[in-house]
Structure 1
Amino acid sequence: KCPQKNIISRKMFPHPIKVQSEGGLNVTLTIRLLMHGKEVGSIIGKKGETVKKMREDSGARINISEGNCPERIVTITGPTDAIFKAFAMIAYKFEEDIINSMSNSPATSKPPVTLRLVVPASQCGSLIGKGGSKIKEMRESTGAQVQVAGDMLPNSTERAVTISGAPEAIIQCVKQICVVMLESPPKGATIPYRPKPASTPVIFSGGQAYTIQGQYAIPHPDQLSKLHQLAMQQTPFTPLGQTTPAFPGLDASNQASTHELTIPNDLIGCIIGRQGTKINEIRQMSGAQIKIANAMEGSSERQITITGTPANISLAQYLINARSEREQALMLMGVCH
């Protein structure tokens, strides 16, 4: 029995902790998964039969978020052995779906099973390890591919952790991730990611946002439009340390500042675009200065530095996140873009 471990576990998971007779901990914990609509449909099954069987056979509680959203949160709660059984059943179900889809496809190589965990950002450093050592160890010992998203999910303090590979490799990887999460509880309050309902694409023209409906562009006066207008009204690069507002009526909070974020190497290409077209588009839309650091040897991520007013930075972040999330979705579906 280890009192210290009990304390750590309770900090992270407000659930009961059972101490097994052989002295090992059997912690009741909660893991959140991010799934697309098609994946959720596969888990639910006809008349809910599949998810019902998963609940009964694993002993875990499996809840699926409501709402007409492209993405849904699947929450799995239970003792560790039940969690791993539920993950195994989900991974094997996805593999079955892949095999079935291949019977109607000319593709010869079987794509890997992919699951996305939603993890508090404050724990991601422990998952990556110093210089990427921990994530490298996970990849090598399990055979699964593991990627930690460079930025937080919208309006949350959580990041997506993508695991790809054979079901057996995914299960082993999830076990190792759970151990790290228990050993390194999240710091501070966690704002959970809540997927938003499906929305139509937004384009900008003359400082106004529009949504595309059929062949027409309809004015779209939402928060993003206001953010874009605010960004364009302000000096893109107010000198740092300037004490007077750039424009009358704007206070010191509108001075330029710098924000840094990291993006996985495999997504940086979609952010830059062919001959820098995409990153230049983001610079033009946001009014922010954006610099992408050179690739560092041994690192799986690239650093992006954004400079500008708070409005410039917010819009640049939004556009970068939207671009990377779209690319991740296409990668998950096996589409090259």
Structure 2
Amino acid sequence: MESPDSRQTSSAEVPPMRSPSPLSSPTRENTAKNLYLRFLVSNAEAGSVIGKGGSAINDLQTESGARIQLSRNNEFFPGTSDRIIMVSGASNEILRAIESILSKLLKEFYVEDEETDPQSKLRLIVPNGSCGGIIGKGGATIKSFIEDSHANIKISPQDINFPGLNDRLVTLSGNLDEQMRAIDLILSKLAEDPNYINSFTVPYPYAGVCFAGFHGVPYVFMPPFGTAAYHGTNYGMNGNVGKYQNIKGSPTSSVTIGVADEHIGVVVGRGGRNLTEITQVSGARIKISDRGDFLSGTSERKVTITGPQRAIRAAESMISQKVASVSER
């Protein structure tokens, strides 16, 4: 899938649509306010949202009335290999835009089952200070959101591994209708928070946050909206609260990165020594494509890393260091 440089995607504001939103919101008092919502997508999904020459993102903005911006193709949310989409405007415009984006990604990245609606995970980025309002006293608010939307909602704690990161991930699991209802409820709650409205920022506000990892462009991130392996609190449909621990059995995903053909040798090492070391230290599984099997449009071999997010990040960092050592020489 062709993905132009995301620096071309910060389009100008477009007039709001005249037609009313088909979505039903708990309140429309906030439609006139300038709100925003950020969420994560893989690099491949970002390319789909942008479209060839920016055509797709321009259409999405025109149809919704919202402004859609993306982080650059090497600007990932700390601790992930995912880019950030920020949608801003009135609440009904934001909902229209997000629904169009998610519908597009479901069609292109999920195999549709005629008998059931496709299920996916969407990760919203919410400031730490605004998460309390979503949770509510004793979890009452978030439980009511779950009962209303029928989506599962999981809120991560603040990640102490990245000092200066003041955002948390709110993961919504379910079909499109369930996710959109949950987004509607959450956005209405955020609109009541003056700190959230005043924190309006750029799509990628983490320039001062340093984290290790391979900063190449991921080819595939599976599944779309993959589950992060963090110590989060999961609020299920049954109202129970459980813990996801970053231990054996943590949710897994896969990332495929490109490594120049001439650098594959240093990743593998003599007799596979380096590859074995990376696998043992990180805990991730690593598969390298055969000679001549390159990423589309490049001369880079495909290195697929599978495991929990922390294992993937560790493996990416070690691979990056191996490649960097050769490049410096």
- TM-score, normalisation: structure 1: 0.49
Maintained 8 Å contact 2:121/2:173: yes
Q: Which 5+ residue runs of structure 2 have no aligned equivalent?
A: 1-27, 76-80, 216-229, 235-241, 250-280, 282-307, 314-329
Corresponding position of 1:173:
182
Name the structure 2 match of 1:268.
244
Corresponding residue pairs, total: 195
Structure 2 CA distance, aligned partners of 1:93 and 1:75? Answer: 16
Alpha-carbon distance change, 325 to 133 in structure 1, aligned in 2, over 3 angstroms: farther
User: Which residue in 1 is equivalent to 2:126?
Assistant: 119
Q: Distance in 2 between matches of 1:263 and 1:324?
A: 17
Between the aligned partners of 2:172 and 2:150, the Cα distance in structure 1 is 10
Of residues 40, 48, 56, the one that matches 1:50 is 56
Residue 74 of structure 1 is aligned with which of 85, 98, 103? 85
2:46 to 40, 45, 49: 40
Question: Corresponding residue for 1:163?
Answer: 172
Match of 1:89 in 2: 100
1:111 and 1:273 map into 2 onto residues whose CA distance is 27
- Whole-Å Cα distance in 1 between the matches of residues 87 and 174 of structure 2? 20
- CA separation of 1:53 and 1:197: change in aligned 2, threshold 3 A: farther
- What are the equivalent positions in structure 2 for 1:183-202 lying under 5 Å apart? 183-186=192-195, 192-193=205-206, 199-200=213-214
Letter in 2 for 1:162: T
Which whole-Å CA distance do the structure 1 matches of 2:86 and 2:54 have between them? 16
- What percentage of residue pairs aligned between the two structures are identical? 29
Residues 141 and 325 of structure 1, relative CA distance in 2, 3 Å threshold: farther
In structure 2, relative to structure 1, the CA distance for the partners of 1:197 and 1:36 (3 Å cut) is farther
Deviations, residues 265-303 of structure 1 (Å, cap 9, x unaligned): 57634x2337xxxxxxxxxx9xxxxxxxxxxxxxxxxxx
Identify which of 131, 134, 137 aligns with 2:138.
131
Q: Does 1:63 align with 2:69?
A: yes
- Higher-Rg structure is 1
Cα distance in 1 for residues equivalent to 2:73 and 2:211: 7
Bigger relative contact order, structure 1 or 2 (CA pairs below 8 A, ≥6 apart): 2
Distance 1:111 1:198, change over 3 A: farther
Point out the more displaced range, 161-170 or 191-200. 191-200
SS at match of 1:199: coil
**CA shift digits 1:228-275 (9 cap, x unpaired):** xxxxxxxxxxxxxxxxxxxxxxxxxxxxxxxxx963357634x2337x
* Contact 1:128–1:134 under 8 Å retained in 2: yes
Structure 1: how far apart are the matches of 2:200 and 2:100?
A: 28
- Deviation at 1:111? 4.6
Q: Is the 8 A contact 1:123 1:186 kept in 2?
A: yes
Preserved contact between residue 91 and residue 170 of structure 1 (Cα < 8 Å): no
Q: Distance in 1 between matches of 2:211 and 2:53?
A: 23
- How high is the TM-score relative to the length of structure 2? 0.50
CA distance in 2, matches of 1:114, 1:189: 25
- Tell me the equivalent position of 1:298: none
The SS at the match of 2:154 is strand
Question: Which runs of 5 or more residues in structure 1 are unaligned?
Answer: 1-22, 202-260, 275-284, 286-320, 327-337
In structure 2, how many angstroms separate the alpha carbons of the residues matched to 1:25 and 1:325?
40
CA positional deviation for 1:173: 1.2
User: Shift in Å at residue 95 of structure 1?
Assistant: 1.9
Please give the alpha-carbon distance, in whole angstroms, between the structure 1 residues aligned to 2:89 and 2:165.
24
Contact map agreement 1:65 1:74 (CA 8 A) in 2: yes
